[in-house]
A and B are shown apart, each in its own frame.
Chain A
Amino acid sequence: MIRKLLIANRGEIAVRIIRACREMGIETVAVYSEADRDSLHTQLADEAVCIGPGPSAESYLNMERIMSATMISGADAVHPGFGFLSENARFAKLCEKCHVTFVGPSSKVIRNLGNKQIARNTMAAAGVPVIPGTDGPVYDVKTGIKEARKIGYPVIIKAALGGGGKGMRTAHTPEEFERAFLTAQKEAKGAFADETMYIEHFVEHPRHIEFQILADNTGHVIHLGERDCSIQRNHQKMIEESPSVALSEDLRKKMGKAAVKAAKAAHYVNAGTIEFLLEKNEKFFFMEMNTRIQVEHPVTEWVTGVDLVKEQIRIASGLPLGISQRDVRIKGHAIECRINAENPEKNFRPSPGTITGLHLPGGKGVRVDTALYNGCQVPPYYDSMLAKLIVYGVDRKEALCTMKSALGETIIDGVDTNVDYQFEILNNPDYQEGNIDIEFLNTHVIAGVKINDV
């Protein structure tokens, strides 16, 4: 069993991990940058080691310093949290070389799943549905039309060297295809002097559905149901919930099975997440696998009763899973809102500063994961997430009411926040109906703000 764990992270996730360790009787070592000297995680851990100046590259991303801190403190394991070094195969490899337990999968698994092409091929070979597309490049319309028919409309035509939407067109019918292909190709030629095109099935207005999985060293893999993370701004999730209203029991089983299959195909060990795009017609496609604990893990914890961080630590210590798929029951409904230090009216500009007044909600069915305290600093160097507000209800309706009530009593003074913006999302009739997809914030005006897709 892990005896002393170094948390290579900061903010609320560092606090979350430290708390799990305190409950498990594991000693904790925090690392902190000069900007985080007075941060909660620094204070709450049993020991703390300063690893450099504020900018991440010189502290939380500096593997050499984190490894030195591990050696100095005598920790025998490292938990990377999310972000920073959590999906860095080189860091995982360094831990392996130094006989330090890395709480997460092996470096090889991280490397393979981090490579889009390898991940896609692995999944396709294992029979996990991936977005259909051409295997090789396409240069002319005729071949293109043939390929598009095979793939199934609508399709998206992409320039091999494309970026920023240039050389990219969608087509819904064979009639539309010819023009779209030629336009995209012409654009690509102009912008990148290259006419190599790829064609892929275009997943229209999908939901973002992800499955939480747990896998131990004995090859035992289970899933803990799904999370619907469709409310996103520029691929940044804002609200997550479990279960998703879009999944019937049948579909859940089907997707869950695919998720387990995916994890097994990747020889995955520890907690991980399989992300899918779900179409309205219930077709789903593998997008990627995240090899870390996710920000939104608490909603799964609440509806399943499983403590994911503790499970991570147990698995990393070499223990087998304590539960089987049959033991997993989804009960009730949980929603998480991410509270960020940002100004929605000013294009969500980050708003660092000092917290001058703080009131956080509580009561039955309310959980707040945060590193905030009255008077603390929000440094400008890091992600702007201040807190995660998670609520639970017997059903979605109750959870929604609890969330609105909780948001309504959240007071964070000193910095701008998105609390009011989140409140307005909850007031939106489409959201309340569960009528959402990943374009939701681009297609609805919330609190007078419409997100322009970049």
Chain B
Amino acid sequence: MMFNHVFKKTATERQDNSSDVRPEVPDGILKRCNACKSAVFVEDVRKNHNVCPHCHNYFRMNAHSRLRMIVDKDSFTEWDMGITSNNPLNFKNYPEKLESLKEKTGLDEAVMTGTAKIHGIPVALGVCDGRFMMASMGEVVGEKITRAVERATNEQLPVILVACSGGARMQEGIVSLMQMAKTAAALKRHSDAGLLYISILTDPTTGGVTASFAMLGDIILAEPGALIGFAGPRVIEQTIGQKLPKGFQRSEFLMEHGFIDQIVERGKMRETLYQILMLHQRKDTQEIFGETVESYADHDEDLSSVEMDAWEHVKLARDKSRPSGKDYISLLFSDFIELHGDRDFGDDPAVVGGIASFQGIPVTVITQEKGCGTKDTIYRKFGMVSPEGYHKSMRLMKQAEKFGRPVILFVDTPGAFCGIEAEERGEGEAIARNIYELSGLKVPVLSIVIGEGGSGGALAFAVADEVWMMEHAVYSVLSPEGFASILWKDGKRAKEAAQVMKLTSYDLKNLGIIEHIIGEKKPLTRENIPDTAKKLESYIMKFIHRYGQMNIDELVENRYQRFRQF
């Protein structure tokens, strides 16, 4: 039953209330969220880092608020104020427009540069302000960024640039285009000096800015849901005559396609930056470990020494309850920051890599990841690495080389991903490239086989100064099933194959393929791994100690000879 206007309405006597103050919402209390369309308190939005408290939409932020959000209070000193455009094209009304914007925004151009501290760590930084001609890059923006980067290079400072831009400034035409070259070149010199550049992409980052400084970060962070692209969505739609899919050119889309290291919420931006900066403070290994070089036993005294069939080892190595690479990362390292993407095609979930602190030493750590639980395992493609996974690992290894960080690799893959797309994108080339580059990487490299070390897919993570194996891990040219089917045309004879392949840690130690076996008193599970991790930690410490002190030529030569012997 529904009542439909059956009730009589209130009989009211009209009163004269004209003298009263009429109810109204004063200015500056409420505003409308352009995403969820609901009214929100300005105060709530401000307290919430300019994020809608209802739908978590990101409102655009001006440069001053952004600085307040990421740098220490009162630590910002502005550089290069008061530079103005020469209006290179003599564009009509352009100087007047600039003047009126300066007055309106209190800014002198679309970017603020300077130096500041983040939890005490000094940085050079530039922050775009979209209120000023959509922060398009003309000669002043380009000049200020270039000068800031140059100064940072001289003063050995890391650079942080917060991008937000419509692209090149049309009023300055070709001169605007040259800013792309100028800023990129300055960043190249900064990078060649071994210095860090963190790029932060915010809504929107498009056109010439995307195609220059914004995409050149050693580490590229983005705010959730930001529009990031080269050509604007409207231009693309008109050109191809198609409607674009939802989420196209948003941060999440870019991350999926390999161009962003991490999407960071505003509330976590300062801490994330601090963590990254901390991990790029150069540390001397000697300072941490002292000068004595301890050596460690070839064999672990904790070997289970239970007579075990090779096939049993294979089964244990593949066991679902066995810890995966991520378990090792979380137990052995602190402050791990995962870095995503190959900067080319995609982000392979079968590889997890990033930077972390090992006993206070910054390291790059990369694992082949099988995942935990059915859903995650499927998502991570059972640890079978695609070309973009190898490309990502290569990118992170080269980055480690630039910053002088040791690289620690975990091997756990049945083999490289087998499929059409993987071949189209050059799976073989990707593996080859990894082996090739690893052989000459100018930092210590340690590789630990924690589960399955399947074929070339594993070797791409195992060209190292030392290769270790967990006691029940296996490492072979091919899976026993594959071996049996190639040699005997019968995949079912895998058990027999396992016996003859010499794939256990004991066999491989005898063959000199690996240096070290980490004992598993009991077969490892996610529950019992902490004890073993402790032991592993002390070995890794000794490894970093020994190889960290080695002269680079000697290090690379040793690695060359290590593989030359086979």
Contacts and interface: CB of A to CB of B under 8 A. Distances in A.
Interface of A: 1, 3, 21-22, 25-28, 38, 40, 43-44, 46, 58, 62-65, 67-68, 70-71, 74-76, 94, 97-100, 373-376
A225 to B, nearest CB: 31
B54 to A, nearest CB: 8
B245 interface: no
Contact of B10 (A28, A38, A97, A375): A28
B107 interface: no
Contact of A99 (B2, B12, B22, B39): B22
B23 A99 contact: yes
B423 to A, nearest CB: 50
Given A21-B10, A25-B13, A64 B21 contact: no
Interface string B1-32: 11111110111110101001111111001100
Interface residues of B, number: 28
A308 B1 CA distance: 32
B23 A75 contact: yes
Nearest to B6: A43
A70 B3 contact: no
B403 to A, nearest CB: 39
A70 B10 contact: no
Contacts of A21: 10
A71 B24 contact: yes
B41 A26 contact: no
Contacts of A3: 12, 15, 17
B26 A97 contact: yes
Contact of B38 (A46, A64, A98, A373): A64
B39 A68 contact: yes
B30 A374 contact: no
B231 to A, nearest CB: 37
Leading 3 A-B pairs by shortest Cβ distance: A375-B1, A64-B39, A43-B3
13 contacts: A3-B12, A38-B2, A44-B3, A46-B10, A62-B38, A64-B38, A67-B25, A75-B23, A76-B17, A76-B20, A94-B29, A98-B23, A374-B1
Contacts of B69: none
Contacts of A99: 21-24
B40 interface: yes
Given A22-B10, A27-B10, A27-B12, 7 more contacts: A43-B3, A43-B7, A44-B7, A64-B38, A74-B23, A75-B23, A98-B25
Contacts of B17: 3, 76
B23 A70 contact: yes
B38 A65 contact: yes
Contacts of B2: 38, 375
Contacts of B26: 97-98
A64 B11 CA distance: 30
A174 B170 CA distance: 86
Interface in B42-90: 54
B32 to A, nearest CB: 10
B44 to A, nearest CB: 9
Contacts of A1: 15
B3 A38 contact: yes
A67 B30 contact: yes
B456 to A, nearest CB: 53
B23 A26 contact: no
Nearest to A376: B1
B39 to A, nearest CB: 4
Contact of B1 (A25, A27, A74, A373): A373
B3 A25 contact: no
Contacts of B13: 25
B11 A25 contact: yes
Contacts of B1: 373-376
B23 A71 contact: yes
Interface of B: 1-7, 9-13, 15, 17, 20-26, 29-30, 38-41, 54
A35 to B, nearest CB: 14
Given A64-B30, A64-B38, A68-B39, A98 B24 contact: yes
A46 B25 contact: no
Nearest to B15: A3
Contact of A65 (B21, B24, B39): B39
Given A3-B17, A70-B23, A98-B23, A64 B41 contact: yes
Contacts of B6: 43
Contacts of B29: 94, 97-98
Nearest to B9: A46
Most buried by A among B1, B13, B25, B29: B25
B19 to A, nearest CB: 12
Nearest to A78: B23
A1 B25 CA distance: 21
Nearest to A40: B3
A40 B7 CA distance: 10
A98 B39 CA distance: 15
A27 B54 CA distance: 32
A102 B349 CA distance: 55
A288 B41 CA distance: 30
Nearest to B44: A64
A167 B12 CA distance: 59
Nearest to A58: B54
Nearest to B30: A64
A99 B22 CA distance: 7
A58 B55 CA distance: 11
Contacts of B9: 46
A40 B20 CA distance: 32
A99 B3 CA distance: 34
Nearest to B5: A43
Nearest to A57: B54
A1 B15 CA distance: 9
A167 to B, nearest CB: 31
A359 to B, nearest CB: 15
Contacts of B21: 99
Contacts of A98: 23-26, 29
A156 to B, nearest CB: 38
A46 B40 CA distance: 27
A97 B42 CA distance: 14
Contacts of B12: 3, 25-27
A373 B29 CA distance: 40
Contacts of B22: 76, 99
A387 B95 CA distance: 71
Contact of A100 (B23, B39, B40, B54): B23
A236 to B, nearest CB: 30
Residue from the set B10, B41, B54 with the largest chain A CB neighbour count within 10 Å: B10
A128 B26 CA distance: 40
A58 B3 CA distance: 25
Contacts of B4: 43
Nearest to B41: A64
A68 B24 CA distance: 10
B24 to A, nearest CB: 6
Nearest to A94: B29
Contacts of A376: 1
A107 to B, nearest CB: 14
A100 B24 CA distance: 8
Contacts of A94: 29
A44 B6 CA distance: 9
A67 B24 CA distance: 9
Nearest to A42: B3
Contacts of A374: 1
B20 A67 contact: no
A65 B4 CA distance: 25
A357 to B, nearest CB: 12
B81 to A, nearest CB: 38
A436 to B, nearest CB: 40
A59 B1 CA distance: 24
Contact of A26 (B3, B10, B38): B10
A353 to B, nearest CB: 15
Contacts of A97: 25-26, 29
Contacts of A100: 23
Contacts of A70: 23
A376 to B, nearest CB: 8
